[in-house]
Amino acid sequence: MNRIDQRFSELKQQGRKALIPYITAGDPAPQYTVGFMHALVEAGADVIELGVPFSDPMADGPVIQKACERALKQGTRLVDLMQMVKEFRQTDTTTPVVLMGYLNPIERIGYENFADQAASVGVDGVLIVDMPPEEAEEIGPLLKSRDLAAIFLVAPTTSNQRAATICAHGEGYLYYVSLKGVTGAATLNADDVAEHLAPLRGMTDLPLCVGFGIRDGVTAAEVAKVADGVIVGSALVNRIAESVDAPETIAGQLKSVLAEMRTAMDA
């Protein structure tokens, strides 16, 4: 069983919701990333989304754009991410890791090469922001045959017909984008989210996780009431941005931001 499925089935038994932090790999420099991942797990992360930095992150707001710039300035490449996951797996064999990013770096190293490397280092899922299921016909089977979950987005603008297609192709969990906009944009409205999640429940058994606009314990707890998981990115990446000059303090800060959310969600 894929680690993602395993984790969600455990959470279900415990009656808890998943807390899924996102950080951009290589931000503020590659040597810190694995330490951050462990810190996030200690603070209560159930799944880690590891961002693949890209020069043109079209779906991201300024916070993650700048994180990509910092990571790329340090020369972080997709192959370096693979090494990070490998290192993380030396001491953590249970926390699922999802690579999240844009398609071009994967196209450049080749779909099959990417899938081979990801599977061999212990990646569990792949979320490619600019690749809807219609364009995933070629990479889909390559991921599936290696037990890598293809995770897709559903947006407030997604029609029921499209949502059904996405549910049919999706694996691991569904990433529901809580608002129209880029990452880090605004604060979400939990009632709206609940309304949009309801029809999805009828279409799929996949866990429904919600991202975009989750800033603190309060929003995390609100979303956790209606969703199976809460994804938090910009709120964490902001802390990294504020402390690039004191990188040794970042892991502690990430832990405190995430621990606050964990406590609020579990209360």
Partner 1 sequence: MTVSATPTPKTKFSDLTRMPDARGHFGPYGGRFVSETLSFALEELEKTYLSLRDDPDFQAEFDYDLAHYVGRPSPLYHAKRWSASLGGAQIWLKREDLNHTGAHKVNNTIGQALLAKKTGKPRIIAETGAGQHGVASATVAARLGLECDVYMGAEDVQRQKLNVYRMRLLGARVIPVESGTRTLKDAMNEALRDWVTNVDNTFYIIGTVAGPHPYPLLVRDFNAVVGREARRQSLEQIGRLPDALIACVGGGSNALGLFYPFVEDDDVAMYGVEAGGDGVETGRHAAPLASNAPRGVLHGNRTYLMSDEAGQVSDTHSISAGLDYPGVGPEHALWKDVGRVSYVAANDKEVLEAFRELTHMEGIMPALESAHALAHAKVLAPTMRPDQHIVVNLSGRGDKDIMTVAKIDGIEF
Q: Which is nearer to partner 1, 17 or 77 (CB)?
A: 77
Q: HEC string of the chain?
A: CCHHHHHHHHHHHHCCCEEEEEEECCCCCHHHHHHHHHHHHHCCCCCEEEECCCCCCCCCCHHHHHHHHHHHHCCCCHHHHHHHHHHHHCCCCCCCEEEEECHHHHHHHCHHHHHHHHHHHCCCEEEECCCCHHHCCCHHHHHHCCCCEECCEECCCCCHHHHHHHHHHCCCCEEEECCCCCCCCCCCCHHHHHHHHHHHHCCCCCCEEEECCCCCHHHHHHHHHHCCEEEECHHHHHHHHHCCCCHHHHHHHHHHHHHHHHHHHHC
Nearest distance, CB of residue 61 and partner 1, angstroms:
7
Instruction: Kindly indicate which of the ranges 19-27, 89-97, 111-119, 236-244 contains the residues binding partner 1, using the contact rule CB under 8 A.
Output: 111-119
**Is position 153 an interface residue for partner 1 (rule: CB under 8 A)?**
yes
**Is position 56 an interface residue for partner 1 (rule: CB under 8 A)?**
yes
**Is position 157 an interface residue for partner 1 (rule: CB under 8 A)?**
yes
49 is catalytic: yes
Measure the CA–CA gap between 22 and 45, rounded to whole angstroms. Answer: 10
Which one of 87, 130, 147, 216 is in contact with partner 1 (CB under 8 A)?
130
**Is position 158 an interface residue for partner 1 (rule: CB under 8 A)?**
yes
Nearest distance, CB of residue 181 and partner 1, angstroms:
4
Q: Which is nearer to partner 1, 143 or 182 (CB)?
A: 182
Q: Which of 5, 49, 171, 228 is catalytic?
A: 49
Count of residues binding partner 1 (CB under 8 A)?
A: 48
**Is position 118 an interface residue for partner 1 (rule: CB under 8 A)?**
no
Which one of 2, 35, 89, 132 is in contact with partner 1 (CB under 8 A)?
132
Hey, how many other C-beta atoms are within 10 angstroms of the C-beta on 232? 27
**Is position 79 an interface residue for partner 1 (rule: CB under 8 A)?**
yes
87 is catalytic: no
Convert 165-176 to b/e letters by CB count within 10 Å (16 or more is b).
Answer: bbbeebbbbbbb
For the CA atoms of 90, 78, 113, 47, the dihedral, rounded to the nearest 10 degrees, stands at 50
Which one of 10, 12, 31, 108 is in contact with partner 1 (CB under 8 A)?
108
**Is position 120 an interface residue for partner 1 (rule: CB under 8 A)?**
no
**Is position 156 an interface residue for partner 1 (rule: CB under 8 A)?**
yes
Q: Which of 27, 60, 171, 222 is catalytic?
A: 60
- Binders of partner 1 in range 85-104 (CB under 8 A): 102-104
**Is position 177 an interface residue for partner 1 (rule: CB under 8 A)?**
yes
**Is position 209 an interface residue for partner 1 (rule: CB under 8 A)?**
no
User: Radius of gyration (Cα) for the chain, nearest Å?
Assistant: 17
* Active centre residues (catalytic): 49, 60
Positions that interact with partner 1 (CB under 8 A): 54-62, 65, 72, 77-79, 102-113, 129-132, 134-135, 138, 152-159, 162, 166, 177, 180-182, 185
